[in-house]
Amino acid sequence: MKRLLLASTVLTAALLCGQQASAATGTATSNLAVSALVNTACTISATPLNFGSYSSSAPSDVTGSTVVSATCSGSPTNPVTVTVGGGGGYGAGTYGFRSMQDGASDHLCYGLYTTSGYTPNSDITNGGSANSISLSGGTGSMTIYGAVTKGQTTAPGGSYTDTVLLTATY
């Protein structure tokens, strides 16, 4: 009987020690939020608007044009709006016209326009004008037209310049 009891104890111990731990009785889940912010950045540039030579006795205005280009990364969802600011010449922001200056206090008046017809309704006044550049693949451009008014007899010979601020909103 001793042998039977010993065999029974060994068999019971083997069965108890050989058992595996039971599996988990529940599970829990959670979501992991993943995000990134892609910043939109745009740059604008313009080719110089050079009217060339001007003569006050010319029968018509001297005209020219420039191209304003926008390049954006981050795919803006709206067109780029370009605001054309006033220049630094005589009458800027006061008289509703623009002027280039020589090195002294002499002025040569000019206008900027959104169309090549140079009509008053397409005038970009000193208060600024918003013009949209539609983008395709992150780039786009628009043309700004300019005209130096004919018959400006008070402007002496020399080189006249102005700087106009362009601001892009995107």
Q: What does 141-155 look like in DSSP terms, one character per residue?
A: EEEEEEEEPTT-TT-
User: Please, what is the average pLDDT of the chain?
Assistant: 78
For residues 150, 155, 158, 163, the Cα torsion angle rounded to the nearest 10 degrees is: -70
Per-residue model confidence as pLDDT tens digits over 45-79: 999 999 999 998 999 999 999 999 988 887 777 77
Range of the domain at 139: 42-47+56-169
Better-predicted residue by pLDDT, 2 or 141: 141
Better-predicted residue by pLDDT, 114 or 4: 114
Averaged pLDDT for residues 108-112: 89
Per-residue model confidence as pLDDT tens digits over 20-37: 555 668 899 999 999 988
| Number of neighbours of residue 45 by Cβ within 10 angstroms | 11
Pairing type for strands 139-148 and 62-73 reads antiparallel
In this predicted structure, what is the pLDDT of residue 154?
Answer: 86
| 27 occurs within a structural domain | no
Is the pTM higher than 0.85? The answer reads no
Better-predicted residue by pLDDT, 1 or 68: 68
pLDDT over 50 (residue 4): no
| 136 occurs within a structural domain | yes
User: How far, in Å, CA of 113 to CA of 134, rounded?
Assistant: 18
Percent of the chain's residues with pLDDT above 70: 75
User: How far, in Å, CA of 13 to CA of 10, rounded?
Assistant: 5
Domain holding 135: CATH number?
Answer: 2.60.40.1090
Better-predicted residue by pLDDT, 102 or 97: 102
| 36 occurs within a structural domain | no
| 6 occurs within a structural domain | no
State the total domains in the chain.
1
